[in-house]
Chain A
Amino acid sequence: MLLLAAGPVIPTFGGGGSSFSCERANRLFCPSWVSHNWGSVLWPALRQHVELTLIAVAIGFVISTTLALIAYRRRWLERPVLVVTSILYTIPSLALFELLEPVPGLGLSRTTAEIALVSYTLLIMFRNTLTGLREVPPDVRDAAAGMGMGPLQLLLRIELPLALPAIIAGLRIATVTVISLATVASLIDNEGLGAPILSAIANEVFKTELIAAGGMAVVLALMADGVLVLLQRRLTPWTRTAI
């Protein structure tokens, strides 16, 4: 199954001159290309990727938390929300981006990318938040009500804090999912870490760029996951012994 590239490929990306022999030979990884193109290609792509992710996760968080809070009080809402968000979640990213593109006012834009990315966060965060709220022990709720807390106080001071581990777990999955799918979004808005990957493919399969951008996407996702684990430990110190 191992397919070797047929003969040396000369990428047009690395510029000319003998100092680019590694790029010309299209070796697996040329550190010099990375250092030359960090400021002009890789760093901007990384920054855009983080921006895309933060916007999508923030909007998705607001929508899904709101829906979960309503569904917590109005049980009938749970099923329709789950059905719709499950279907959105099931649609492969490549298809969803393309389906949104011809919608008037969207086109090849960041808005299109963000709408698709947000739609992938909803199921995960909605379900986790709702489950977290439902799993608050009834005894605790009763005790709080007995202490004279109203519904709002109960929600803010008892239910939400106790649901926090589940909420953050959802946030974590949603974040890495968005980081992953944002690479595909480059097809639509030509930004983020997918952009250098696509241009490397178009550019005679330039390996260094593939490995650099692909590797950065993987590392970014791993780091985001790690940061959210730390955040969770910070915010919910009482769960620490449970592991």
Chain B
Amino acid sequence: MHNFVEAFKFIGRNGQVPGGPHLPTLVHLTLETLKIAGIGIAIALVIAIPVGVWLGHVHRGSFVAINLGNIWRSLPSLAVLAIGVAVLGIGLGNVELALVVLAVPPIITNGYVAIDGIDADIVDAARGMGLTGREILLKVELPLGIPLIFAGIRTAALFVVSTTTIAALTGYSGSLGDIINNETSYRLSGVLGAAICIALLALVVEFSLAGVQRVLTPRGVKLAAGDDFGVSIAPVVTEPA
């Protein structure tokens, strides 16, 4: 228990070890972690949302969209980072590439499933009312698809935050993972403190995105789904079975 008490003291000292040299502060490392993860998820969103949503809108490419998700789950993040280091060398480029590679597939798969699975009658009704394809996508399909689209984004975000910290193991310095990778400077209490921060960061990211999802979800969809705030973490199973 002593170690955990020390860990919270370490957090209270903003990541400094008494008697040691001045180290990057916890606040700084947390913001850096968020920045690296944020860039990765932003690039992934720009690539994956249009692709997934478009494939779902035209009801094509189900094989690619579904299997991409299955293959993604098979990619160990440390292995992707390691191969990236070998090819690109240690640096932000390799980390961001790994983040994008890991974040794109779940967003595409969920985007596809979200739009493709919308009740055909609803789309027909919208078309009967005279909506164009574009309007159907923006006013009908996207709002109805929000819950599943967001499930994909949240899965990806979780993966990205986790992988950002793992990047420290492959030599990239500048995230909270640094502390865990450097027990000699930070001691066990520092490592524990960093682990607590990482766990909290992931939970905060998860709940923030859940909050954004809640705001974006149309009221009608919320009522139909039975508002289930917070418990819907984790991957949506998009198995054909």
Contacts and interface: CB of A to CB of B under 8 A. Distances in A.
A3 B94 contact: yes
B3 interface: yes
A98 B191 contact: yes
B64 interface: no
A111 interface: no
Given A2-B88, A3-B89, A94-B180, A179 B233 contact: no
B195 A180 contact: no
Contacts, number: 200
A99 to B, nearest CB: 5
Contact of B71 (A91, A169, A182, A222): A222
A104 B84 CA distance: 37
A18 to B, nearest CB: 23
Contacts of A200: 82
A208 B87 CA distance: 10
B68 interface: no
B75 A221 contact: yes
Interface stretch (A60-68, A141-149, A209-217): A209-217
Interface in B186-241: 188, 191-192, 194-196, 198-199, 202-203, 206, 230-231, 233-235, 237, 239-241
A95 B194 CA distance: 8
Interface in A1-47: 1-5, 28-29
B241 A232 contact: yes
A94 B166 contact: yes
Interface string B69-90: 0110111111111110111111
Interface string A158-193: 000000011011101100110111111001000001
Contacts of B16: none
Interface residues of A, number: 70
Contacts of B3: 102
**From DSSP, what is the main secondary structure of chain A's interface residues?**
helix
A90 B202 contact: yes
Contact of A83 (B165, B166, B231): B231
Nearest to A186: B78
A2 B85 CA distance: 11
Interface stretch (B47-55, B116-124, B141-149, B169-177): B169-177
Contacts of B239: 165-166, 169, 172
B148 to A, nearest CB: 15
A124 interface: yes
B73 A177 contact: yes
Given A197-B169, A218-B74, 16 more contacts: A1-B93, A5-B89, A90-B158, A90-B199, A91-B199, A91-B203, A92-B166, A102-B188, A180-B78, A184-B77, A201-B171, A205-B89, A214-B78, A214-B86, A221-B76, A224-B74
Interface of B: 3-4, 70-71, 73-83, 85-94, 96-97, 158, 161-162, 165-166, 168-171, 177, 180, 188, 191-192, 194-196, 198-199, 202-203, 206, 230-231, 233-235, 237, 239-241
25 contacts: A2-B88, A89-B233, A90-B199, A91-B202, A95-B199, A99-B195, A165-B239, A165-B241, A166-B239, A168-B241, A173-B73, A180-B73, A183-B77, A184-B77, A197-B78, A197-B79, A198-B169, A200-B82, A201-B82, A211-B86, A213-B79, A213-B82, A217-B78, A221-B76, A225-B73
